[in-house]
Structures are given as C-alpha cells and as structure tokens.
C-alpha cells in the first residue's frame, strides 16, 4: 500500500477518499481538513481567543493539538461531570495533555460547584442522564467562555457525530433542529459565544488514528451514560452503510449542508435569565430550571424524612 501523495509506505487506508497515506501525509491531510473547515465556514480569525472544550477523548484532544499546531490562541476547558471513576480518568487525560503541550487549561467541577454530579442531578429531574449532561455542558461552555473573554467555543464533533445527529433529526423530522444543525452557530446575542465544529470533515476513525500515530494518550473508555443511547444506534446503522458503500456519511452530511437553507432556523425571542443572567427564550434558562427541579425534589424528600 503506497501513500497517494509521496508514494512512500502507507500506514492508513481511507476508502471514502479512495486513498492511502503515510504518517506525515496523513498528519497533513488532517490539518488541511481542519484549515479548510475553518476557512470555508469562517469559524474564527487570528484575533479570536478559542475555547476548545475537551472531554479527554480522541476527538477533542486531536482538535486541541491541531489548533495549537496551527498557532491558534486555543485554551482548553474540561468539565468534570462527577461520574465516578470515568470523570477522574477523563480529567487526568486532559491534564496530562495540557502538561505535555504546555497548553492553558481551565477545569470546572460540577460536584464542587453544585454539590452533586450529573447522574445525581438527572435522577432528581424528568430528564435522562444524557439529556441533563448535554444541557449542563452547553450551559457551562458558554458561561465560562463569556466570563473568561473567549469569542468562540470549539467542540470535537466529527463527521460520524454530525451524520448520526442528522439521521436522527430526519427520522423524526425535527425541523427546528435541522434548521440549527451546522458546523458553525453564529453568536446571535452579545452573551452567546460562536460555536464551531472544526472536525466536521473528519471521521472518528481518522481522529483515533491521528492520536495513536501522534502518541496522544486519550481516554478510550466510552461514557457509561451513553450505553444504549439512540445516537449510538444511528452511528451503528451508518457504519454498516459506510462499510458497504464508503463515502455514505460524507454524502449524507455534505448533501444536507448544500440544501440546509430549506430549513429555516427558528426565530428566537432571546432574553436574559432572571436567575443567572445567561441567554434564554423563557423567564429563566433551562439550566436554572433544572437546578430548581433538583432543589424542590430535595426539599420534598427532606420534609418526608422529618
Ligand atoms: P459528546 O456530547 O459527549 O458527544 O461530546 C461532544 C463534544 O463536547 C466533545 O467532542 C468535546 O468537545 C465536548 N465535551 C464532551 N464532554 C466534555 C467535558 N466533560 N468537558 C469539556 N468538553 C466536553
Ligand atoms: Zn439561568
């Protein structure tokens, strides 16, 4: 197997591009895909301070490494979600990376800030653990960006994530979500940072291979909350199709990006939350409502014990 670019010994085959790459050309390929994503979608400029939100997994660590290599002013933010051993290992992997690359890292610990981890919070509400966790993370990403002066939040969502989420949105015809699904969510309020997904052109197999070849020590374990979630079923279905017909995920997602103007992004009447001041469409934001639900459930159970 020869490298498509330099004809040297290839280390990886990318069937969806009908090509193979040696180590160095593969590194160039990944970096070029991120640069292309950033330039074509106008994700950020040299002046922007970028907050890369890092879970400790392959995607977000590969993203952080690539952005640092490109000379982007990229700080990391890790949220310790308080999911026992899994969260301890995640934080350790992020801390190791920051130390090895001499990168700036911010850490927020949910248990320290709110007295309980995501599982405990979710169990006192009507939300599933994954949905509560997603809400809490999105809220904290924006809050920290705002407080620390970052104009852009970058996540490690890749092509597999985006194609699976698109499939879910189409299967249930969630038009509002389709209107909002994009590699870039512009800031539509002074208190909202721009959200970008610079890995949307790359698959998770590619980011995993990148980390292994670069010697980036990422956490291989999946979040225990994700097991059995519908997004995993969509990924499995797409993997099956991709295996039979390489390029399926790319064609699904990039075809959507060309046609997405058909789906109008919902018009939102944005206000500031009466409790925390963050942006919301209601009187109080979803995060504060979640905390109130937990507080009232805790009060009721305490009263019962008394
Ligand atoms: P997920 O929602 O778990 O699929 O993760 C999507 C993206 O969110 C990841 O690629 C990271 O950029 C970010 N992320 C997930 N978990 C965390 C975390 N605990 N702390 C910071 N960022 C995270
Ligand atoms: Zn609020």
Q: pLDDT for 184-238, tens place per residue?
A: 999 999 999 999 999 999 999 999 999 999 999 999 999 988 877 899 999 999 9
For residue 21, report the distance from its CA to the centre of ligand 2, in Å.
48
- Nearest-CA residue for ligand 1 atom 10 is 156
Residue pair 230/168 in contact by the 8 Å Cβ criterion: yes
For residue 280, the cross-strand partners are 271
Report the C-alpha gap between 49 and 75 in whole angstroms. Answer: 8
Predicted TM-score (pTM) of this structure: 0.95
Q: Cα dihedral sign for 107, 111, 113, 119? A: positive
Give me the helix-helix angle, 286-305 and 129-148, nearest 10°.
Answer: 120
Nearest to 241 by CA among 6, 15, 4: 15
79 lines ligand 1 (CB under 6 A): yes
Return residues with CB closer than 5 A to ligand 2 (ion): 273, 275-276, 278, 285, 288
Look at residue 300 in the predicted model and tell me its pLDDT: 66
Look at residue 226 in the predicted model and tell me its pLDDT: 82
Residue 77 phi, psi dihedral angles, 5° rounding: -130, 125
For residue 111, report the distance from its CA to the centre of ligand 2, in Å.
18
Give 33 or 295, the one with higher predicted confidence: 33
Q: For residue 149, is pLDDT > 70? A: yes
Report the C-alpha gap between 275 and 272 in whole angstroms. Answer: 9
Q: Report the pLDDT averaged over residues 37-49.
A: 95
Report the C-alpha gap between 228 and 219 in whole angstroms. Answer: 20
Q: Report the pLDDT averaged over residues 159-168.
A: 98
59-104 residue pLDDT tens: 999 999 999 999 999 999 999 999 999 999 999 999 999 999 999 9
Q: For residue 264, is pLDDT > 90? A: no
Nearest to 81 by CA among 71, 68, 90, 69: 90
For the domain with range 23-267, which CATH number is right: 3.40.50.2300, 3.40.50.970, 3.40.50.620, 3.20.20.150? 3.40.50.620
Mean pLDDT of the residues in the chain: 95
Q: For residue 294, is pLDDT > 90? A: yes
Residue whose CB lies within 8 A of the most ligand 1 atoms, among 50, 51, 60, for a mutation test: 60
């Amino acid at each position: 197997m020869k490298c498509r670019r330099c004809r040297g010994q290839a280390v990886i085959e990318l069937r969806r591009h009908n090509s193979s790459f040696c180590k160095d050309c593969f590194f160039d390929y990944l970096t070029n895909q991120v640069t292309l994503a950033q330039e074509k979608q106008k994700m950020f400029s040299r002046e922007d301070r970028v907050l890369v939100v890092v879970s400790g997994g392959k995607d977000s660590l590969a993203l952080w490494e690539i952005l640092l290599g490109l000379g982007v002013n990229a700080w990391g933010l890790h949220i310790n979600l308080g999911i026992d051993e899994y969260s301890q290992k995640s934080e350790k992997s992020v801390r190791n990376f920051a130390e090895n690359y001499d990168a700036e890292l911010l850490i927020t610990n949910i248990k320290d800030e709110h007295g309980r981890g995501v599982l405990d919070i979710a169990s006192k509400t009507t939300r599933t653990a994954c949905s509560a966790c997603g809400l809490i993370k999105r809220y904290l990403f924006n809050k920290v960006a705002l407080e620390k002066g970052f104009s852009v939040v970058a996540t490690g969502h890749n092509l597999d994530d985006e194609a699976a989420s698109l499939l879910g949105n189409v299967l249930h015809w969630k038009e509002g979500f389709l209107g909002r699904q994009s590699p870039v969510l512009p800031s539509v309020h002074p208190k909202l940072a721009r959200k970008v997904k610079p890995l949307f052109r790359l698959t998770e197999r590619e980011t995993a291979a990148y980390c292994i070849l670069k010697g980036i020590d990422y956490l291989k374990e999946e979040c225990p909350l994700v097991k059995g979630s519908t997004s995993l079923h969509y990924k499995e279905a797409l993997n099956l199709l991709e295996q039979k017909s390489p390029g399926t995920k790319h064609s699904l997602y990039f075809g959507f990006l060309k046609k997405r103007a058909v789906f109008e992004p919902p018009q939102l009447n944005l206000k500031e939350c009466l409790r925390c001041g963050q942006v919301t469409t209601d009187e109080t934001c979803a995060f504060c409502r979640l905390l109130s639900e937990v507080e009232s459930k805790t009060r009721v159970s305490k009263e019962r014990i008394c």
